[in-house]
Structure 1
Protein backbone atom coordinates (compact mmCIF):
# COMPACT_ATOMS: atom_id res chain seq x y z
CA UNK A 1 0.00 0.00 0.00
CA UNK A 2 1.20 3.59 -0.56
CA UNK A 3 2.68 5.28 2.47
CA UNK A 4 2.51 8.86 3.71
CA UNK A 5 5.65 8.44 5.84
CA UNK A 6 7.63 11.34 4.39
CA UNK A 7 10.39 10.74 6.97
CA UNK A 8 11.49 7.44 5.46
CA UNK A 9 14.63 7.64 3.28
CA UNK A 10 12.88 5.85 0.43
CA UNK A 11 9.95 8.28 0.48
CA UNK A 12 12.25 11.31 0.72
CA UNK A 13 14.23 10.07 -2.27
CA UNK A 14 11.04 9.48 -4.25
CA UNK A 15 9.68 12.98 -3.52
CA UNK A 16 12.97 14.65 -4.43
CA UNK A 17 13.25 12.67 -7.64
CA UNK A 18 9.71 13.67 -8.57
CA UNK A 19 10.37 17.33 -7.83
CA UNK A 20 13.55 17.32 -9.92
CA UNK A 21 12.23 14.89 -12.53
CA UNK A 22 12.81 17.23 -15.45
CA UNK A 23 16.44 17.69 -14.42
CA UNK A 24 17.27 13.99 -14.17
CA UNK A 25 18.72 11.98 -17.04
CA UNK A 26 16.01 10.43 -19.19
CA UNK A 27 15.35 6.81 -18.32
CA UNK A 28 15.75 4.19 -21.00
CA UNK A 29 12.47 2.86 -22.33
CA UNK A 30 11.08 -0.25 -20.69
CA UNK A 31 8.78 -2.90 -21.99
CA UNK A 32 5.10 -2.83 -21.24
CA UNK A 33 2.29 -0.33 -21.76
CA UNK A 34 3.15 3.35 -21.43
CA UNK A 35 1.44 5.33 -18.64
CA UNK A 36 -1.72 7.05 -19.81
CA UNK A 37 -0.99 10.21 -17.82
CA UNK A 38 2.05 12.18 -16.66
CA UNK A 39 3.16 13.49 -13.28
CA UNK A 40 2.67 16.99 -14.66
CA UNK A 41 -0.95 16.19 -15.48
CA UNK A 42 -1.56 14.80 -11.99
CA UNK A 43 -0.04 17.91 -10.39
CA UNK A 44 -2.10 20.22 -12.62
CA UNK A 45 -5.26 18.33 -11.69
CA UNK A 46 -4.42 18.65 -8.00
CA UNK A 47 -3.91 22.41 -8.31
CA UNK A 48 -7.15 22.84 -10.24
CA UNK A 49 -9.09 20.86 -7.65
CA UNK A 50 -7.57 22.74 -4.70
CA UNK A 51 -8.21 26.11 -6.40
CA UNK A 52 -11.84 25.17 -7.03
CA UNK A 53 -12.84 23.22 -3.92
CA UNK A 54 -10.17 23.94 -1.31
CA UNK A 55 -7.50 21.71 0.12
CA UNK A 56 -10.01 19.99 2.37
CA UNK A 57 -11.44 18.27 -0.69
CA UNK A 58 -8.03 17.30 -2.04
CA UNK A 59 -7.68 13.54 -1.85
CA UNK A 60 -5.90 11.10 -4.11
CA UNK A 61 -9.30 9.65 -4.99
CA UNK A 62 -10.65 13.09 -5.96
CA UNK A 63 -7.58 13.88 -8.08
CA UNK A 64 -7.86 10.51 -9.78
CA UNK A 65 -11.51 11.24 -10.55
CA UNK A 66 -10.48 14.58 -12.12
CA UNK A 67 -8.32 12.60 -14.51
CA UNK A 68 -10.78 9.79 -15.11
CA UNK A 69 -8.52 7.29 -13.33
CA UNK A 70 -8.95 4.71 -10.61
CA UNK A 71 -7.66 5.89 -7.24
CA UNK A 72 -4.96 3.24 -6.96
CA UNK A 73 -3.69 4.10 -10.45
CA UNK A 74 -2.70 7.55 -9.19
CA UNK A 75 0.04 6.00 -7.07
CA UNK A 76 1.81 5.06 -10.28
CA UNK A 77 2.64 8.76 -10.55
CA UNK A 78 2.82 10.07 -6.97
CA UNK A 79 3.36 7.90 -3.88
CA UNK A 80 1.20 9.88 -1.43
CA UNK A 81 -0.90 12.95 -0.85
CA UNK A 82 2.05 14.60 0.89
CA UNK A 83 4.19 14.06 -2.19
CA UNK A 84 1.45 15.52 -4.37
CA UNK A 85 1.24 18.62 -2.17
CA UNK A 86 5.00 19.14 -2.41
CA UNK A 87 4.76 18.92 -6.18
CA UNK A 88 1.80 21.30 -6.28
CA UNK A 89 3.55 23.93 -4.16
CA UNK A 90 6.62 23.77 -6.38
CA UNK A 91 4.58 23.90 -9.59
CA UNK A 92 2.83 27.09 -8.43
CA UNK A 93 6.19 28.66 -7.55
CA UNK A 94 7.47 27.81 -11.02
CA UNK A 95 4.79 30.11 -12.49
CA UNK A 96 6.20 33.21 -10.76
CA UNK A 97 6.33 36.35 -12.86
CA UNK A 98 9.84 37.79 -13.33
CA UNK A 99 11.01 40.32 -10.78
CA UNK A 100 12.08 43.78 -12.02
CA UNK A 101 15.82 43.33 -11.39
CA UNK A 102 16.67 46.55 -13.26
CA UNK A 103 14.30 48.68 -11.16
CA UNK A 104 15.44 50.67 -8.10
CA UNK A 105 16.05 48.52 -4.98
CA UNK A 106 12.89 49.75 -3.26
CA UNK A 107 10.67 48.69 -6.16
CA UNK A 108 12.40 45.31 -6.38
CA UNK A 109 11.80 44.55 -2.72
CA UNK A 110 8.18 45.64 -2.87
CA UNK A 111 7.78 43.39 -5.92
CA UNK A 112 9.01 40.40 -3.88
CA UNK A 113 6.27 40.85 -1.29
CA UNK A 114 3.66 41.72 -3.90
CA UNK A 115 4.38 38.51 -5.81
CA UNK A 116 4.12 36.35 -2.70
CA UNK A 117 0.83 37.96 -1.70
CA UNK A 118 -0.68 37.66 -5.18
CA UNK A 119 0.17 33.96 -5.36
CA UNK A 120 -1.46 33.23 -2.01
CA UNK A 121 -4.61 35.14 -2.91
CA UNK A 122 -4.81 33.26 -6.23
CA UNK A 123 -4.24 29.90 -4.49
CA UNK A 124 -5.61 30.27 -0.93
CA UNK A 125 -5.00 26.58 -0.17
CA UNK A 126 -1.28 27.39 0.04
CA UNK A 127 -2.03 29.16 3.33
CA UNK A 128 -3.06 25.81 4.81
CA UNK A 129 0.25 24.09 4.02
CA UNK A 130 2.99 24.59 6.60
CA UNK A 131 6.01 26.30 5.06
CA UNK A 132 8.27 24.68 7.64
CA UNK A 133 10.50 22.00 6.09
CA UNK A 134 8.92 22.29 2.67
CA UNK A 135 11.07 20.31 0.28
CA UNK A 136 12.88 22.49 -2.24
CA UNK A 137 12.12 21.73 -5.85
CA UNK A 138 13.27 23.64 -8.93
CA UNK A 139 10.29 26.02 -8.82
CA UNK A 140 10.92 27.19 -5.27
CA UNK A 141 14.68 27.17 -5.79
CA UNK A 142 14.31 29.38 -8.86
CA UNK A 143 12.05 31.72 -6.90
CA UNK A 144 14.63 32.04 -4.14
CA UNK A 145 17.35 32.66 -6.72
CA UNK A 146 15.28 35.41 -8.33
CA UNK A 147 14.43 36.99 -4.99
CA UNK A 148 18.09 37.01 -4.02
CA UNK A 149 18.98 38.59 -7.36
CA UNK A 150 16.45 41.33 -6.60
CA UNK A 151 18.24 42.29 -3.36
CA UNK A 152 21.79 41.51 -4.45
CA UNK A 153 24.14 44.47 -4.58
CA UNK A 154 22.09 46.84 -2.41
CA UNK A 155 24.42 46.66 0.59
CA UNK A 156 23.13 43.62 2.50
CA UNK A 157 25.37 40.73 3.46
CA UNK A 158 24.30 37.18 2.65
CA UNK A 159 22.50 36.58 5.95
CA UNK A 160 20.73 39.94 5.75
CA UNK A 161 19.63 39.17 2.18
CA UNK A 162 18.05 35.91 3.33
CA UNK A 163 16.38 37.59 6.29
CA UNK A 164 15.04 40.45 4.18
CA UNK A 165 13.33 37.95 1.86
CA UNK A 166 11.98 36.01 4.84
CA UNK A 167 10.56 39.14 6.48
CA UNK A 168 8.95 40.34 3.24
CA UNK A 169 7.47 36.88 2.69
CA UNK A 170 6.13 36.65 6.24
CA UNK A 171 4.49 40.07 6.02
CA UNK A 172 2.94 39.30 2.63
CA UNK A 173 1.66 35.95 3.92
CA UNK A 174 -0.01 37.48 6.95
CA UNK A 175 -1.69 40.17 4.88
CA UNK A 176 -2.76 37.63 2.24
CA UNK A 177 -4.45 35.59 4.97
CA UNK A 178 -6.50 38.65 5.94
CA UNK A 179 -7.31 39.42 2.28
CA UNK A 180 -8.48 35.85 1.67
CA UNK A 181 -10.65 35.96 4.79
CA UNK A 182 -12.15 39.27 3.64
CA UNK A 183 -12.92 37.84 0.22
CA UNK A 184 -14.62 34.82 1.77
CA UNK A 185 -16.72 36.98 4.06
CA UNK A 186 -17.65 39.24 1.16
CA UNK A 187 -19.12 36.29 -0.69
CA UNK A 188 -21.75 36.05 2.07
CA UNK A 189 -22.29 39.72 2.91
CA UNK A 190 -20.56 42.80 1.56
CA UNK A 191 -18.38 44.76 3.97
CA UNK A 192 -20.52 47.86 3.45
CA UNK A 193 -23.67 45.95 4.39
CA UNK A 194 -21.93 44.36 7.37
CA UNK A 195 -20.76 47.76 8.61
CA UNK A 196 -24.21 49.27 8.07
CA UNK A 197 -25.60 46.68 10.51
CA UNK A 198 -22.84 46.47 13.10
CA UNK A 199 -21.44 50.02 13.03
CA UNK A 200 -24.47 51.76 14.57
CA UNK A 201 -24.95 48.98 17.12
CA UNK A 202 -21.35 49.22 18.25
CA UNK A 203 -21.70 52.99 18.57
CA UNK A 204 -24.81 52.50 20.68
CA UNK A 205 -23.47 49.76 22.98
CA UNK A 206 -19.80 50.57 23.55
CA UNK A 207 -19.30 53.19 26.32
CA UNK A 208 -17.27 56.08 24.90
CA UNK A 209 -15.52 56.81 28.19
CA UNK A 210 -14.36 53.19 28.63
CA UNK A 211 -12.41 52.99 25.36
CA UNK A 212 -11.79 56.57 24.25
CA UNK A 213 -8.94 55.90 21.81
CA UNK A 214 -10.26 52.61 20.47
CA UNK A 215 -13.71 54.11 20.01
CA UNK A 216 -12.48 57.22 18.24
CA UNK A 217 -9.86 55.60 15.99
CA UNK A 218 -11.86 52.43 15.34
CA UNK A 219 -14.93 54.40 14.34
CA UNK A 220 -12.92 56.65 12.04
CA UNK A 221 -11.22 53.68 10.37
CA UNK A 222 -14.44 51.71 10.04
CA UNK A 223 -16.33 54.62 8.52
CA UNK A 224 -13.47 55.34 6.14
CA UNK A 225 -13.08 51.74 4.93
CA UNK A 226 -16.74 50.76 5.37
CA UNK A 227 -15.29 47.45 6.53
CA UNK A 228 -13.57 45.91 9.56
CA UNK A 229 -10.18 46.47 7.90
CA UNK A 230 -8.48 47.36 4.62
CA UNK A 231 -6.09 44.54 3.61
CA UNK A 232 -5.00 46.20 0.35
CA UNK A 233 -4.30 49.55 1.96
CA UNK A 234 -2.58 47.92 4.93
CA UNK A 235 -0.33 45.98 2.57
CA UNK A 236 0.67 49.06 0.58
CA UNK A 237 1.45 51.00 3.74
CA UNK A 238 3.13 48.13 5.53
CA UNK A 239 5.38 46.89 2.73
CA UNK A 240 6.57 50.41 1.96
CA UNK A 241 7.41 51.01 5.62
CA UNK A 242 9.09 47.61 5.92
CA UNK A 243 11.22 48.09 2.82
CA UNK A 244 12.26 51.59 3.90
CA UNK A 245 13.37 50.11 7.22
CA UNK A 246 15.45 47.39 5.54
CA UNK A 247 17.05 49.89 3.18
CA UNK A 248 17.93 52.16 6.10
CA UNK A 249 20.37 49.46 7.29
CA UNK A 250 22.20 49.23 3.97
Structure 2
Protein backbone atom coordinates (compact mmCIF):
# COMPACT_ATOMS: atom_id res chain seq x y z
CA UNK A 1 0.00 0.00 0.00
CA UNK A 2 2.82 2.42 0.82
CA UNK A 3 4.39 1.76 -2.59
CA UNK A 4 1.12 2.57 -4.32
CA UNK A 5 0.85 5.89 -2.52
CA UNK A 6 4.58 6.62 -2.53
CA UNK A 7 4.14 10.00 -4.25
CA UNK A 8 1.92 11.44 -1.53
CA UNK A 9 3.20 9.72 1.61
CA UNK A 10 5.89 11.66 3.52
CA UNK A 11 9.36 10.20 3.35
CA UNK A 12 10.43 8.39 6.49
CA UNK A 13 13.20 10.42 8.11
CA UNK A 14 16.49 8.70 8.74
CA UNK A 15 15.67 5.70 6.56
CA UNK A 16 18.22 5.03 3.86
CA UNK A 17 18.47 2.09 1.55
CA UNK A 18 20.95 1.17 -1.16
CA UNK A 19 21.39 3.69 -3.95
CA UNK A 20 18.86 2.93 -6.68
CA UNK A 21 19.81 3.07 -10.35
CA UNK A 22 16.23 3.17 -11.69
CA UNK A 23 12.91 4.31 -10.25
CA UNK A 24 9.92 2.31 -9.04
CA UNK A 25 7.96 3.91 -11.90
CA UNK A 26 10.47 2.51 -14.39
CA UNK A 27 10.16 -0.96 -12.85
CA UNK A 28 6.37 -0.77 -13.11
CA UNK A 29 6.43 0.47 -16.73
CA UNK A 30 8.80 -2.35 -17.60
CA UNK A 31 6.49 -4.89 -15.97
CA UNK A 32 3.56 -3.54 -18.01
CA UNK A 33 5.64 -3.74 -21.20
CA UNK A 34 6.58 -7.36 -20.50
CA UNK A 35 2.96 -8.30 -19.80
CA UNK A 36 1.71 -6.50 -22.93
CA UNK A 37 4.32 -8.20 -25.10
CA UNK A 38 4.60 -11.69 -23.61
CA UNK A 39 1.55 -12.19 -21.37
CA UNK A 40 0.77 -12.24 -17.67
CA UNK A 41 2.53 -15.55 -16.97
CA UNK A 42 5.85 -14.16 -18.22
CA UNK A 43 5.95 -11.37 -15.64
CA UNK A 44 8.42 -12.20 -12.89
CA UNK A 45 11.02 -10.45 -10.81
CA UNK A 46 13.71 -12.20 -12.84
CA UNK A 47 12.23 -11.21 -16.21
CA UNK A 48 11.72 -7.57 -15.30
CA UNK A 49 15.19 -7.36 -13.78
CA UNK A 50 16.70 -8.77 -16.98
CA UNK A 51 14.82 -6.19 -19.06
CA UNK A 52 16.36 -3.46 -16.91
CA UNK A 53 19.83 -4.98 -16.87
CA UNK A 54 19.65 -5.61 -13.12
CA UNK A 55 20.23 -8.66 -10.95
CA UNK A 56 16.98 -10.24 -9.72
CA UNK A 57 17.87 -9.71 -6.05
CA UNK A 58 18.42 -6.01 -6.65
CA UNK A 59 14.87 -5.64 -7.93
CA UNK A 60 13.57 -6.54 -4.48
CA UNK A 61 14.84 -3.15 -3.31
CA UNK A 62 12.10 -1.67 -5.51
CA UNK A 63 9.22 -4.13 -5.14
CA UNK A 64 8.99 -6.90 -2.51
CA UNK A 65 7.33 -9.55 -4.73
CA UNK A 66 5.70 -10.31 -8.05
CA UNK A 67 2.31 -9.86 -6.38
CA UNK A 68 3.24 -6.33 -5.32
CA UNK A 69 4.52 -5.59 -8.83
CA UNK A 70 1.22 -6.72 -10.36
CA UNK A 71 -0.72 -4.46 -7.98
CA UNK A 72 1.43 -1.52 -9.06
CA UNK A 73 0.99 -2.42 -12.73
CA UNK A 74 -2.81 -2.59 -12.45
CA UNK A 75 -2.87 0.81 -10.80
CA UNK A 76 -0.52 2.30 -13.38
CA UNK A 77 -2.69 1.34 -16.36
CA UNK A 78 -5.78 2.65 -14.57
CA UNK A 79 -4.14 6.07 -14.61
CA UNK A 80 -4.16 6.05 -18.43
CA UNK A 81 -7.85 6.99 -18.65
CA UNK A 82 -8.58 10.44 -20.06
CA UNK A 83 -10.97 12.72 -18.16
CA UNK A 84 -14.62 12.51 -19.23
CA UNK A 85 -15.85 15.95 -20.25
CA UNK A 86 -18.78 17.20 -18.15
CA UNK A 87 -19.97 19.02 -21.28
CA UNK A 88 -20.91 15.75 -22.96
CA UNK A 89 -24.52 14.55 -22.83
CA UNK A 90 -25.18 12.17 -19.95
CA UNK A 91 -25.54 9.15 -22.22
CA UNK A 92 -22.15 9.82 -23.82
CA UNK A 93 -20.53 10.18 -20.41
CA UNK A 94 -21.88 6.81 -19.30
CA UNK A 95 -20.81 5.29 -22.61
CA UNK A 96 -17.31 6.67 -22.04
CA UNK A 97 -17.09 4.90 -18.68
CA UNK A 98 -17.75 1.52 -20.32
CA UNK A 99 -15.62 2.34 -23.34
CA UNK A 100 -12.58 3.22 -21.26
CA UNK A 101 -12.80 -0.01 -19.27
CA UNK A 102 -13.06 -2.05 -22.47
CA UNK A 103 -10.23 -0.17 -24.18
CA UNK A 104 -7.95 -0.69 -21.18
CA UNK A 105 -8.40 -4.47 -21.38
CA UNK A 106 -7.94 -4.59 -25.15
CA UNK A 107 -4.67 -2.68 -24.70
CA UNK A 108 -3.60 -4.82 -21.75
CA UNK A 109 -5.25 -8.27 -22.10
CA UNK A 110 -3.24 -9.63 -19.15
CA UNK A 111 -5.58 -7.68 -16.87
CA UNK A 112 -8.12 -10.46 -17.41
CA UNK A 113 -5.82 -12.82 -15.49
CA UNK A 114 -5.54 -10.59 -12.42
CA UNK A 115 -8.07 -11.54 -9.70
CA UNK A 116 -10.55 -8.65 -9.77
CA UNK A 117 -12.07 -8.87 -6.32
CA UNK A 118 -10.79 -6.38 -3.74
CA UNK A 119 -8.05 -4.85 -5.82
CA UNK A 120 -5.73 -2.80 -3.66
CA UNK A 121 -6.78 0.81 -4.14
CA UNK A 122 -3.97 3.01 -5.37
CA UNK A 123 -4.01 6.54 -6.75
CA UNK A 124 -4.63 5.43 -10.33
CA UNK A 125 -7.71 3.35 -9.54
CA UNK A 126 -9.01 5.82 -6.97
CA UNK A 127 -8.70 8.78 -9.34
CA UNK A 128 -10.42 6.81 -12.08
CA UNK A 129 -13.30 6.00 -9.74
CA UNK A 130 -13.51 9.68 -8.83
CA UNK A 131 -13.63 10.62 -12.53
CA UNK A 132 -16.30 8.01 -13.21
CA UNK A 133 -18.41 9.27 -10.34
CA UNK A 134 -17.95 12.87 -11.47
CA UNK A 135 -19.26 11.89 -14.91
CA UNK A 136 -22.64 10.87 -13.46
CA UNK A 137 -22.82 13.06 -10.37
CA UNK A 138 -25.88 15.27 -10.20
CA UNK A 139 -27.96 13.44 -12.83
CA UNK A 140 -30.54 12.17 -10.36
CA UNK A 141 -29.02 8.95 -9.04
CA UNK A 142 -28.49 8.11 -5.38
CA UNK A 143 -24.94 7.47 -4.20
CA UNK A 144 -25.61 3.72 -4.11
CA UNK A 145 -27.09 3.78 -7.62
CA UNK A 146 -24.09 5.76 -8.90
CA UNK A 147 -21.76 3.08 -7.58
CA UNK A 148 -23.91 0.34 -9.10
CA UNK A 149 -24.11 2.04 -12.49
CA UNK A 150 -20.32 2.20 -12.65
CA UNK A 151 -20.05 -1.44 -11.54
CA UNK A 152 -22.59 -2.67 -14.12
CA UNK A 153 -21.03 -0.70 -16.97
CA UNK A 154 -17.55 -1.87 -15.97
CA UNK A 155 -18.56 -5.52 -15.63
CA UNK A 156 -20.38 -5.52 -18.97
CA UNK A 157 -17.37 -3.92 -20.69
CA UNK A 158 -15.01 -6.42 -19.05
CA UNK A 159 -17.07 -9.42 -20.14
CA UNK A 160 -17.30 -8.18 -23.71
CA UNK A 161 -13.58 -7.38 -23.79
CA UNK A 162 -12.87 -10.94 -22.67
CA UNK A 163 -14.70 -12.24 -25.75
CA UNK A 164 -12.95 -9.73 -28.03
CA UNK A 165 -9.55 -10.78 -26.70
CA UNK A 166 -10.43 -14.47 -27.13
CA UNK A 167 -11.58 -13.82 -30.71
CA UNK A 168 -8.36 -12.01 -31.55
CA UNK A 169 -6.21 -14.79 -30.08
CA UNK A 170 -8.21 -17.48 -31.86
CA UNK A 171 -7.80 -15.71 -35.20
CA UNK A 172 -4.04 -16.06 -34.84
CA UNK A 173 -4.37 -19.82 -34.40
CA UNK A 174 -7.03 -20.69 -36.99
CA UNK A 175 -9.32 -18.57 -39.14
CA UNK A 176 -13.07 -19.13 -38.89
CA UNK A 177 -13.10 -20.44 -42.46
CA UNK A 178 -10.43 -23.01 -41.54
CA UNK A 179 -12.31 -23.98 -38.38
CA UNK A 180 -15.53 -24.63 -40.32
CA UNK A 181 -13.64 -26.57 -42.96
CA UNK A 182 -12.32 -28.89 -40.26
CA UNK A 183 -15.41 -29.19 -38.03
CA UNK A 184 -18.33 -28.23 -40.27
CA UNK A 185 -19.05 -31.68 -41.75
CA UNK A 186 -19.26 -33.30 -38.31
CA UNK A 187 -21.47 -30.53 -36.93
CA UNK A 188 -23.87 -30.85 -39.85
CA UNK A 189 -24.07 -34.56 -39.12
CA UNK A 190 -24.75 -34.28 -35.37
CA UNK A 191 -26.86 -31.10 -35.48
CA UNK A 192 -29.33 -31.55 -38.36
CA UNK A 193 -31.51 -28.51 -39.01
CA UNK A 194 -34.73 -30.49 -38.53
CA UNK A 195 -33.76 -31.19 -34.91
CA UNK A 196 -32.55 -27.66 -34.17
CA UNK A 197 -34.69 -25.52 -36.48
CA UNK A 198 -34.54 -22.21 -34.60
CA UNK A 199 -30.85 -22.31 -33.68
CA UNK A 200 -30.00 -23.40 -37.23
CA UNK A 201 -31.94 -20.49 -38.69
CA UNK A 202 -30.62 -17.87 -36.27
CA UNK A 203 -27.08 -19.25 -36.26
CA UNK A 204 -26.97 -19.25 -40.06
CA UNK A 205 -28.20 -15.65 -40.21
CA UNK A 206 -25.64 -14.49 -37.64
CA UNK A 207 -22.83 -16.47 -39.23
CA UNK A 208 -23.68 -15.08 -42.66
CA UNK A 209 -23.60 -11.54 -41.29
CA UNK A 210 -20.46 -11.79 -39.17
CA UNK A 211 -18.56 -14.52 -41.02
CA UNK A 212 -17.54 -15.60 -37.52
CA UNK A 213 -19.05 -17.26 -34.42
CA UNK A 214 -19.83 -13.81 -33.04
CA UNK A 215 -19.23 -10.09 -33.28
CA UNK A 216 -17.87 -8.78 -29.95
CA UNK A 217 -17.62 -5.20 -31.21
CA UNK A 218 -21.18 -5.09 -32.51
CA UNK A 219 -22.44 -6.90 -29.41
CA UNK A 220 -20.73 -4.29 -27.24
CA UNK A 221 -22.54 -1.44 -29.00
CA UNK A 222 -25.88 -3.29 -28.89
CA UNK A 223 -25.59 -4.33 -25.25
CA UNK A 224 -24.28 -0.98 -24.06
CA UNK A 225 -27.17 0.86 -25.70
CA UNK A 226 -29.69 -1.44 -24.03
CA UNK A 227 -27.96 -0.90 -20.66
CA UNK A 228 -27.99 2.86 -21.13
CA UNK A 229 -31.68 2.75 -22.07
CA UNK A 230 -32.40 1.05 -18.76
CA UNK A 231 -30.25 3.44 -16.72
CA UNK A 232 -31.77 6.49 -18.39
CA UNK A 233 -35.23 5.25 -17.45
CA UNK A 234 -34.19 5.80 -13.80
CA UNK A 235 -33.20 9.42 -14.25
CA UNK A 236 -34.31 12.68 -15.81
CA UNK A 237 -31.77 13.21 -18.56
CA UNK A 238 -30.97 16.91 -19.03
Same fold, judged at TM 0.5 (above) = yes
Cα distance between partner residues in 2 of 1:70 and 1:22? 26
Given candidates 97, 101, 105, the residue that maps to 1:112 is: 97
Write the mapping of 1:108-187 to structure 2, written as runs, cut at 5 A. Answer: 108-187=93-172
| Structure 1 pair 221–31 and aligned structure 2 pair: CA distance change class (3 A) | closer
| Structure 1 pair 33–173 and aligned structure 2 pair: CA distance change class (3 A) | closer
- 1:87 to 2:87 alignment: no
Write the mapping of 1:6-155 to structure 2, written as runs, cut at 5 A. Answer: 16-26=1-11, 34-155=19-140
Provide the aligned C-alpha RMSD in A.
1.8
Structure-2-length-normalised TM-score: 0.93
Structure-1-length-normalised TM-score: 0.89
Superposition deviation, residue 31 in structure 1 = 6.5
Cα distance between partner residues in 1 of 2:195 and 2:8? 64
Cα distance between partner residues in 1 of 2:176 and 2:84? 33
Unaligned stretches of 5+ in structure 1?
1-15
Q: Which residue of 2 aligns with 1:189?
A: 174
Cα distance between partner residues in 2 of 1:32 and 1:122? 35
Superposition deviation, residue 33 in structure 1 = 5.5
Q: Which residue of 2 aligns with 1:231?
A: 216
Superposition deviation, residue 99 in structure 1 = 1.5
Q: Which residue of 1 aligns with 2:197?
A: 212
Deviations 1:14-50 (A, max 9, x none): xx11000111224558677621111101101100000
User: Does the 8 A contact of 1:120 with 1:127 survive in 2?
Assistant: yes
**Superposition misfits of 4+ residues, deviation over 6 angstroms:** 29-32
User: Does the 8 A contact of 1:195 with 1:227 survive in 2?
Assistant: no
Equivalent residues, number: 235
